[in-house]
Amino acid sequence: MKEQLNIRVGLLRAVKLLAFFLLLLVFGIVSLARLVKADKTEITARQLLTGAALSGSAEGGSWLRGDYTDDQNAPVLTLNGDGPIDVEVGGGYTEPGYTATDAYGRDLSDRVTAEIFGDVLLYTVTDPLGNETTTSRDITYVDTTPPEITLVGGNEYHVPAGTDFEEPGYTAIDNSDGDVTANVRVSGEVEKYRLGSYTLTYTVSDSLGNENTVTRTVWRDAAPQPETVDPEFKAIYLTFDDGPGPYTEELLDLLDQYGVKVTFFVTAQDDDYLDLITEEDARGHTVAIHSYSHDYAIYSSEDTYFEDLYAMQDIIEEKTGHSTTLVRFPGGSSNTISANYCYGIMSTLVEDLDAMGYQYFDWNVTSGDAGETEDTAQIYYNVTSEIAYNGDYEPNIVLQHDIKGFSVAAVEDIIVWGLENGYQFLPLTSSSPTVHHGTNN
Asked if 408 and 249 touch (Cβ cutoff 8 Å), the reply is no
* Catalytic residue selected from 143, 290, 369, 401: 401
**DSSP of 34-59:** HHHHH--SPPPHHHHHSHHHHHHHHH
Residue nearer to Zn ion on the CB measure, 312 or 411: 312
Residue 290 falls in the annotated catalytic set: no
Residue nearer to Zn ion on the CB measure, 143 or 242: 242
Q: Which stretch binds Zn ion (CB under 5 A): 62-70, 138-146, 176-184, 242-250?
A: 242-250
* Catalytic residue selected from 174, 241, 281, 362: 241
Rounded least distance, CB 254 to Zn ion, Å: 21
Residue nearer to Zn ion on the CB measure, 174 or 241: 241
Q: Which stretch binds Zn ion (CB under 5 A): 70-78, 79-87, 167-175, 240-248?
A: 240-248
Element (H, E) at 303: helix 302-320
Q: Which of residues 62-101 bind Zn ion (CB under 5 A)?
A: none
Judged by CB under 5 A, does residue 308 bind Zn ion?
no
Rounded least distance, CB 411 to Zn ion, Å: 17
Judged by CB under 5 A, does residue 241 bind Zn ion?
yes
Contacts of 329 (CB under 8 A, 6+ apart): 335, 346, 349, 360, 362
The closest alpha carbon to 345, from 307, 297, 310, belongs to 297
Asked if 212 and 369 touch (Cβ cutoff 8 Å), the reply is no
Rounded least distance, CB 333 to Zn ion, Å: 13
Residue 401 falls in the annotated catalytic set: yes
Q: Which stretch binds Zn ion (CB under 5 A): 88-96, 158-166, 202-210, 324-332?
A: 324-332
Distance CA 199, CA 5 (A): 81
Please give the C-alpha separations between residue 291 and each of 48, 332, 355, 438, in angstroms, as whole numbers: 110, 12, 19, 19
Residues 127, 242, 308, 369: which binds Zn ion (CB under 5 A)?
A: 242
Rounded least distance, CB 321 to Zn ion, Å: 25
Rounded least distance, CB 330 to Zn ion, Å: 5
CA 8 from centre of chain? 72
Residues identified as active-site? 241, 401
Give the interface with Zn ion as residue ranges (CB under 5 A): 241-242, 330
